[in-house]
Amino acid sequence: TFERGPWAVHSHDTPVDFEDCVFRANYGGARFQGGRVVIRRCRFEDNRIGVRCLNGSPVIEESVFAGNLTGIFFRQGVKAAVLRRNNFDNREYDLKLGEAQADDVDAAQNWWKAAAEGKLAERIFDGADSEGVGRVTVDPQLTVPWGTPEKKK
């Protein structure tokens, strides 16, 4: 558990793997520039920013982003990011692309609480909000939070 720090982790051009970690009440959870970054089964809660990435191809799977001001911020140069089976419920943005992030981001197969409230477009900052910024694709979406068994019909 990483709690109450400025940035819990700040890494440049270094391979990093996180599994089963909690990042809570920090200014930021994990900040990366370059390098191979894999985040699995982690929880980012009540941070200003959960994950911030610059010039990388992160793999973020089976994690929870809740109560952060921004869940994930891809500032620029993020290519071929893998965002799968994550749960999002943040205060301002679930996923935010920076003004210099020109590449699109595939964020399908995640659960978005804001979608159930009809407010998902408000929780994603992308090319729909600012010209020249990449677009985020969210469909198909998970219908229940990751890790919740779906009811059989």
Which has the closest alpha carbon to 97: 70, 63, 115, 69? 70
pLDDT band per the 50, 70, 90 thresholds, residue 149: confident
| pLDDT score recorded for residue 70 | 99
pLDDT band per the 50, 70, 90 thresholds, residue 148: confident
Q: Which long-range contacts (CB under 8 A, 24 or more apart) does 47-51 make?
A: 47/23, 49/73, 50/23, 50/90
| Residue range 19-77, pLDDT digits in tens | 999 999 999 999 999 988 999 999 999 999 999 999 999 999 999 999 999 999 999 99
| pLDDT exceeds 60 at position 102 | yes
